[in-house]
Structures are given as structure tokens and as C-alpha cells.
Structure 1
Amino acid sequence: MADETKLEDHLAALAESGLRHAAPVAAERIRARGERRLRRRRAALVSGGALLAVAVTVGGLSLAWASRGPEPPAVTPTPTDSSFVPPAPAAGEEYAGELGYVYGAVAKGDTVRVTVEQLRTVRGAATPVGVVHTLTLPRGTLVEARQLGGGSPEDLDLGRLVGRLAGGPRWVFVIDYDSEGRVHSLREAYWLAE
């Protein structure tokens, strides 16, 4: 029986010793996990800050690059000897329109020079006003065409229509001017061109 008591005491001492040594190891693991978490969090914050800095830099460069791009297709008409004054949009309107024959197209580099003879509508028919002027526009100026496009409505570049508009007054367009007197687009007035 004495041996059993000694054995129990010895096992109790061993268990107590194991607990003393086990507790610091568990605490070390918890502390190590906490430090790893803290390092990962710091790394994520640093990389997120670096990513934000890169995004801001790239965004700023793209904005700077975009400002160096080509001007919009709207251009101020070249002055002529005629008494033509570009129409101004009415209050609340984005564009003002000029109705006229567009003809005599001549391509020169990146521009197209056209002659415009102003018209007005009288009982659904086009009547010349007597004002003729020329416009020099970029080849990429948007033209909303129907009959020039083969009968179906489509948007074309002015450069593609030079051959069709090179002749005399035949095609009637509404020319859209912005508030600065620049041409924004041409729209075929197919209902008057017939």
C-alpha cells in the first residue's frame, strides 16, 4: 500500500510538473499567433497604402494624358466674306441648327471644306435664303445620314462622304452649332432632299 501511495504522489508530482511546463508553451503559441496576425495586418495596411498610391498615380496620369488628347470634332467655322453668323442655341438648348445645302466638299489632310447655302422651309419645301458660306471641318465630324447611307439611317464620318458631297447643291443638312459657334454634327434633312 505504501508503494501505491508513493506511486500516486509521484504521478501527482509528474502531472503538476507537466502542467507547469505546458502552460508556458500554450501561452507562447498564443503569443506567436498574435504576433503573426499583427505582422499580417501591418503588411496588409502597407500593401493597401501602396496600392492606393499606385491607383492615385495611375489615375492622375490618365487624366493628364486625356487632357493632351485631340480636341472634339466641333470646330469654329473659318471666316468667309459672307455675312454669315453662326446661330446660337436658345436658352436651355444645347445646339442651334442651320438648314442648308452642303456641297463642294474638298478633302485636304485631316479636314474637309464644304460650301453651305442656307435654306428655310416654306410649306415643307426648301427655299434658299441667299447666304452662302464655307466651313472647314475635321474628317471625323459626325454625319447622321439616311439617303447618303444607302436608305438606312447610320452615323458616318464626313471624310467618307467627300465624294458624294463634292458636286453641286443636292443634299440638305441641319448643321448643329454649339454655344461657341462650333459645328458639332450634320444631320441629313432627308425629308426635304427629295
Structure 2
Amino acid sequence: MADENGLGGHLADLADSGRRRTDPLAAERIRARGEQRLRRKRAAMAAGGALLAATVVLGGLSLVRATRGSELPAAVPAPTASRFVPPTPAPGEEYATELGHVYGAVANGDSVEVTVERLRSVRGTATPVGVVHTLTLPRGTPVEARQLAGGDPADVQLGELVDQLAGGPRWMFAIDYDSEGRVQSLREAYWLTG
């Protein structure tokens, strides 16, 4: 019955017409884009797996290193006689100041090691507070001196005062520290009495 109506021939013509009208290049491009997406997805998964593996290995190494104990620091800090913590500037200020007797100066190459006995100023009189520490400073550290310079105000370098500061606690200074705890300058506290 299908042959009587010509349905079979009609379906064959329709299939042949569809094949002639399809663009083989478009179908090939669609297939190529699909394969490209699949390759990118596989590459991303492989890279993510490699990154995960590297992270796990580095994490494991850091844990092993931590259990072995800490390594020596690159630079050995200067020894101190006490657990001295440098003063820090107040908000809006450039420096924090420590009052102290500076003495026992010893030159070591390009640096000078001094002992500082912290003082407290009470109505113009300096009184020790019991904190003693050592500082290792560059020879070129600026010092504002007055009595050390013979009574006339002068700006000198710490290296020039090693001989005068080598003795016991006689000279009082205001020591200026920056926000990172480094000494920026020393100012002779000639206005204080000891």
C-alpha cells in the first residue's frame, strides 16, 4: 500500500534533497569546535591536578621542615642585657624618644656599641628606672651635642664621641626611634640634671 501512494519514493526524494542541502563544511566546523572544547577541558583538568599535586607536596615539605626545628636566623640580633622593647611613636608623630644615660661606648668597625640606662624625667631631674640595654649603632648616627661639644651646640657623628662616652654613666641623651624601632638620632639632654 505504501507503494501505491508513492510514499516510499517520496521519502527517498526527501532524504536525497536533505543530503544535497546540508553543508558538509558547517558540520565539520561544529565537530571541530566540539573536539577543541573537549581538549581544553582535558588540559584544564590536567593542569588543575598538577597544581593540586604541587600544593600537596609543598605543604608536606613545609610540615616536615617545621617538625625538624627552626633554622638559625639570617642575621644574629645584637645581644641585650634586658628584654628591652624600643619605644614606638604615638599616632601622628615621627619619632618616639627614650631618655637615658649613654656610656660604655666601644667602636667595632663601622659601628659603635653603647650601653643605655633608661631615665625618667621628674621636674627636670633624671632618675633611673632600672632598664639597661645595649645598642649597636652606625658610626655615622647623628648626635646633637652641646656640653660634649665644649658648650656650643653642634651636630656631630656618634663615631666622634666614642672616647667621651667610653666611661661610666655621665652623659644623658634623648634617643629618637622611628616606627620600626631603629635609632635615628641622639640629642644631648643638657637640660636635665642627674
Q: When the two structures are superposed, what TM-score results if normalisation uses the length of structure 2?
A: 0.59
Q: Partners of 1:183 and 1:104 in 2: how far apart?
A: 17
Q: Which deviations, in whole Å up to 9, do the C-alpha atoms of 1:89-148 show, x marking residues without a partner?
A: 000000000000000000010000000000001121000000000000000000000000
The answer to whether the 8 Å contact 2:81/2:132 transfers is: no
Q: Which deviations, in whole Å up to 9, do the C-alpha atoms of 1:27-64 show, x marking residues without a partner?
A: xxxxxxxxxxxxxxxxxxxxxxxxxxxxxxxxxxxxxx
After the TM superposition, which residues 35-184 of structure 1 pair with which residues of structure 2 at under 5 Å, given as runs? 78-184=78-184
What letter corresponds to residue 115 of structure 2 in structure 1?
Answer: T
Partner of 2:185: 185
The answer to whether the 8 Å contact 1:170/1:193 transfers is: no
**Could you say if the C-alpha distance between residues 163 and 99 of structure 1 is closer, same or farther in structure 2, counting changes exceeding 3 Å?**
same
**Residue identity (%):** 77
Q: Partners of 1:189 and 1:176 in 2: how far apart?
A: 12
Secondary structure, counterpart of 1:160 in structure 2: helix
The answer to whether the 8 Å contact 2:99/2:173 transfers is: yes
Secondary structure, counterpart of 1:152 in structure 2: coil
Q: What runs of 5+ residues in structure 2 fail to find an aligned partner?
A: 1-76
Offset of residue 84 of structure 1:
1.0
The answer to whether the 8 Å contact 1:95/1:178 transfers is: yes
Aligned residues: 118
The answer to whether the 8 Å contact 1:97/1:177 transfers is: yes
Offset of residue 78 of structure 1:
2.8
Secondary structure, counterpart of 2:164 in structure 1: helix
What letter corresponds to residue 89 of structure 2 in structure 1?
Answer: P
Secondary structure, counterpart of 2:180 in structure 1: coil
Secondary structure, counterpart of 2:181 in structure 1: coil
Q: What runs of 5+ residues in structure 1 fail to find an aligned partner?
A: 1-76
Partner of 2:13: none
Query: How much is the aligned-residue C-alpha RMSD, in angstroms?
Result: 1.3
Q: Partners of 2:138 and 2:80 in 1: how far apart?
A: 18
The answer to whether the 8 Å contact 2:171/2:188 transfers is: yes
What letter corresponds to residue 91 of structure 1 in structure 2?
Answer: P
